[in-house]
Amino acid sequence: MAGRVRFSLLGCMLILLTLVGWGLLIAFKIYRIPTGGMDPAIQVGDRVVARKWVQPKRGDIIVFDYPPQPNTQFIKRLVALPGETVEIRDKQLFVNGKKMDEIYAWHADAQTFARDPKLPEPYRSRDQFGPAVVPANAFFVLGDNRDRSSDSRYWGTVARGQVRGVVVLIISPRGVITP
């Protein structure tokens, strides 16, 4: 009898561990970073763990389907929510007219391009953008490496349905980091 009870308890523990493991696989996904648009926080070759099915908020780093090419995933920082007005003046982000304190934003290029509609992209929108209102059910995202990031300034907003998850861990040679 004791052997049968021990086997049942061991079987239950294995089933429970399997279910927990599957739950983790279902709730989280790991992505590899191929570009430097989120430098210095997330570097080329780092991996991130994203939690699926969570409501993103301003400041979160999100993984999403790249709007011009939906089979490609991008990772950027969410800076504005639906209905908010976004503007960039001289490399400084404003949301609803309020200057945002962005300790994570990095500008590798000291030059600031003036507002000039004759400038070609990416220079026209890099340092001066908007104002633009974020549509309902969409997000405005920017790379932390502002001078070298392909983001909402160039291809528009990210629809809520394109969001794959919110980054909860960064795995890199520097260690495991929480964003």
Nearest to 32 by CA among 21, 40, 43: 43
Among 68, 104, 82, which residue's Cα sits nearest to residue 93?
104
pLDDT single digits (tens) 115-136? 999 999 999 999 999 999 999 9
Q: Is the pLDDT of residue 2 over 50?
A: no
CB neighbour class for 35 (10 Å; exposed up to 12, middle 13-18, buried from 19) = middle
What's the pTM value of the predicted model, to 2 decimals?
A: 0.85
Q: What is the pLDDT of residues 84-116, one digit of tens each?
A: 999 999 999 999 999 999 999 999 999 999 999
Q: Are 139 and 162 in contact (CB under 8 A)?
A: no
Query: If you average pLDDT over residues 137-158, what whole number do you get?
Result: 96
| pLDDT higher than 90, residue 57 | yes
Domains and CATH numbers, the chain: 29-177 (2.10.109.10)
| pLDDT at position 5 over 80 | no
- The mean of the pLDDT values for the chain is 87
